[in-house]
Structure 1
Amino acid sequence: MSAAVVPDHPWLLPGALTPEARASRRTPRDWLVDTVAFLLAVGWALLAFGDATSPDPQFAHNAGPSWLVGVDLAAGLGYCAALWLRRRWPVGLAVAGLPLALFSVTAGLALLVVVFTVLVHRPLPIGAALVGFHLAVIPVYTVVRPDPTLPYWATVAWTVMFVGIVVAWALFVRARRQLVLSLRERAHRAEAEQQLRVDQARQLERTRIAREMHDVLAHRISLLSLHAGALEFRPDAPPQEVARAAGVIRGSAHAALQDLREVIGVLRADTADGDAAPERPQPTLADVPELVAESRAAGVRVTLVDEVAEPTRVPTAVGRSAYRIVQEGLTNARKHAPDTTVGVRLAGGPGRELAVEIRNPWPVGTSAPALPGAGTGLVGIAERVTLAGGRLTHGRDGATGDFRLAARLPWPA
């Protein structure tokens, strides 16, 4: 059972807590039940003692020797007092009361209370063994303390019936408590699973945002590095070109810092309010020409062939994926083949696939050091394309020798 439920119900699973802990956790209801059980057991013991010593043979039992009556009363009252320990040591108390089951009338109700406790709070094999012993000694008890008003087998039958009632009641209480415990544990588990689903959804959303920001930052920083490299290799450039390159560097750095601030703010947010912060509008296929123009402004030779039929009908998710693929292809070209011409081709229509292809010659030599990269951009693009139900291929084209990044995305009619 769940450990989180046990402290709220220390008597449902005795043994899960130490005896000291269970004793200290006794609730007002437990005190009431224990007091009533003690008073009823003492009342029965006094009543049975009165019947055993009554001069009226109609009510008196065959008490046997006079000393047995006194021993029976002392043992019965002592066992009644021991009922206060039944929650801490029910099995030990039951074992200690086994001899009393052979002869004691005054301890009869206290013995039934202990049997009830063991059946409710201890494993069923222990309770079954205890009940079996009491049933086995009923014939012996009836011989030692016969009832003068009933025949032998009638006394045995009545005693078995009372034991059976106690057993049935105890099993009912045990089943009910286990059901309540199971329902509460399921409620706790369902709550924990719901919280886990919320946490997983939040983590997936943050991962998605981080992947988007990776694409954006890689693109902007590669532009920044490209212009900085141009200034480094051309310190004698005209002031107008230096000013223009410095402006592009400043704008790219500012945009990159803004993007970085946004993604860190989202990843640090631990509350629902932080997760509910509005996001910037996401790019679509219609933004690809602007992306190409931005690369051209940075000095990259890019050609764009747009053969998309009905571009306004491109699904938003498909268009965003196509934009990210083009962005990653241009970023990789600037990193690894800065002096080559990059070709971008878009084609497709409703009911067909949207084809995205970025191609550039395999670099032979470069005039600037390659930009660093983690190599995760293509991994993220491949994951994006797979989730969209498309196909991605990348690598060196065996026919032309060019590096080719191509994706096919589903475009429902």
Structure 2
Amino acid sequence: MDVTAHQDDGVHAHEYRWALPSVLLGDAREGGRVRRSTRDWIVDTLMFLLACGLTVLSLPEIQNAPAPLQTAEQILGALSCAAVWLRRRWPVGLAVVTMLFSSYLELPGGASVVALFTVAVHRPFKISGPVALFSLVTLAPYVLLRPRTELDRGWTAALGVALVLTVLAWGIVVRARRQVIWSLRQQAEVAADEARRSERERIAREMHDVLAHRVSMLSLHAGALEFRPDAPTEEIARAASAIRNNAHLALQDLREVIGVLRAVRPGDQDEGEEPVPERPQPTLADLPKLAGECRLAGMDVRLTLGVEDAPEGLGRNLYRIVQEALTNARKHAGGAPVAVTVAGRRGKGVSVEVRNPLRARHGLRIPGAGAGLIGLTERAELAGGRLEHGPTPEGEFLVRAWLPWPAKTTREDA
């Protein structure tokens, strides 16, 4: 359905999304500017031809009428058909005028039928109902004055009432269908917006968790070189290699995130541009490797891993929580020992604790805004778990999280 297909009474294309509810409810302004879409032109042309066709079918009814009446019929019938092109701008006014004409004349009846249908489609029943009632009222003079016998009057009245009610019901059905379609489209747009927002938030969390880890590793190795310029050549070479490797990984992670944000699909990328590869997401089995990287950077990480073979989704969330907690420990308590404990089982859930002293053993501290802990809390809540963090009475900083592990692994968990 064209987004401009059902504009009415001054609704511009760029205002369609917000103005459509008022149009459907019949609150649009009479006489406003109309901008027709291609579909509108087709529909209006068909309505004009319908009015002309009904007028032509009524021509035999005026053959025996006096010449002045025939002339009046032809002029007003032609004007009524031409006025059908104004049905979007003045639907109610067009309906009232053509109904008044058809209260005695034959030829304006076709335009009257089209006008009633237009009002039923574009106005609520509180407006279309009285207009239809007015049409039935104007039917009375026609029934009393035009037919020549009582039998003709009865058939004419019955046919007229049936025609008015049929056209009104048809228009109401069309209007209801448009309302349902518009409502479904709005729901789909809201759902799509919500999905895009959730995806952006997910990407932002991934970007923060991954890049913060890499950048903090860079800062740690660079700080070590700054504080120990007289270190052995082997140590300096090892630190420089770690800086280079982490910078390379950070660029690779950033490239992947940008690729996701751009939603590059095969065939959409620029000529000569390579598609962004997707690396496997980390799982719980990668925690020992993460702890090893931190130890190479000079951290004292003590990992106790009491869970094996966790679902992929659960393992990824646990990995990101531990990764961010280690990043925070590296920023605020560099050189202090960090204890990481992961325990749990299927059907009971998994808990992870990361503990480290509140104060660093050396003066190097990396600035942070605290957004990582907020992101971890959101991640845990989205997974159906919970996360708490803060200082303990023992002088440590604790990050504790619990995530559910259902007894049966669903496809989403996998």
TM-score bucket (shorter structure): 0.7 to 0.9
Identify the range of structure 1 (80-89 vs 223-232) with the bigger mean alpha-carbon deviation.
80-89
Change (3 A) 1:298 1:24: closer
* Higher alpha-carbon Rg: 1
Aligned residues: 368
Contact 2:118 2:171 in 1 (8 A): no
Give how far 1:183 is off.
3.4
Shift of 1:343: 1.5
Find the counterpart in structure 2 of residue 379 from structure 1. Answer: 374
1:94 is the counterpart of 2:88? no
**Alpha-carbon distance in 2 for matches of 1:226, 1:198:** 41
Contact 2:81–2:108 (8 Å) recurs in 1 = no
Cα distance between partner residues in 2 of 1:214 and 1:271: 24
Percent identity over the alignment is 40
| Paired position in structure 2 for 1:45 | 62
Distance 1:405 1:360 in 2: 9
1:239 CA drift (Å): 1.3
Question: SS at the partner of 2:62?
Answer: helix
- Between the aligned partners of 1:346 and 1:26, the Cα distance in structure 2 is 67
Unmatched tracts of structure 1, length 5 or more: 50-69, 102-106
The alignment status of 1:135 with 2:129, answered yes or no, reads no
Asked if residue 126 in structure 1 is aligned to residue 131 in structure 2, the reply is: yes
User: Residue in 2 aligned with 1:292?
Assistant: 291
Question: Contact 2:335 / 2:360 at 8 angstroms: preserved in 1?
Answer: no
Alignment of 1:3-402 (within 5 A): 4-6=4-6, 29-30=46-47, 32-49=49-66, 71-87=68-84, 88=86, 90-91=94-95, 93-94=97-98, 97=101, 101=104, 107=105, 109-122=106-119, 123-135=128-140, 139=144, 141=145, 147=148, 150=149, 154=150, 158-159=152-153, 161-180=155-174, 182-183=176-177, 186-187=180-181, 190=184, 193-194=187-188, 197-198=191-192, 200-269=194-263, 279-306=278-305, 308=306, 311-363=307-359, 366-368=362-364, 370-398=365-393, 400-402=394-396
Equivalent-residue separation in structure 2 for 1:381 and 1:19 (angstroms): 52
Question: Which runs of 5 or more residues in structure 2 are unaligned?
Answer: 9-23, 87-92, 120-127, 270-274, 408-414
Residues 30-78 of structure 1: per-residue CA shift (max 9 Å, x gap): 45434433334443222234xxxxxxxxxxxxxxxxxxxx543443343
Deviations 1:108-128 (A, max 9, x none): x22543543443233331332
> TM-score, length-normalised on structure 2?
0.75
Relative distance call for 1:210 and 1:173 in structure 2 (3 A) is same
The answer to whether the 8 Å contact 1:115/1:131 transfers is no
Further displaced range: 189-198 or 234-243? 189-198
* Distance change >3 Å, CA 349–CA 111, structure 1 → 2: closer
Under a length normalisation based on structure 1, what TM-score does the superposition of the two structures give? 0.75
Give a deviation string over 1:242-276, Cα, whole Å, max 9, x none: 11111111111111111111111111226587899
**Relative to structure 2, which stretch is displaced further, 370-379 or 74-83?**
74-83
What is the CA–CA distance in structure 2 between the aligned matches of 1:72 and 1:382, rounded to whole Å?
Answer: 83
- 1:190–1:174 CA distance, 2 compared to 1 (3 A): same
Say if 2:399 is the partner of 1:405: yes
Q: Aligned partners of 2:41, 2:206: CA distance in 1, in Å?
A: 56
**Are 2:99 and 2:138, in contact at CA under 8 Å, matched by a contact in 1?**
no
Coordinate RMSD, CA, aligned: 3.8
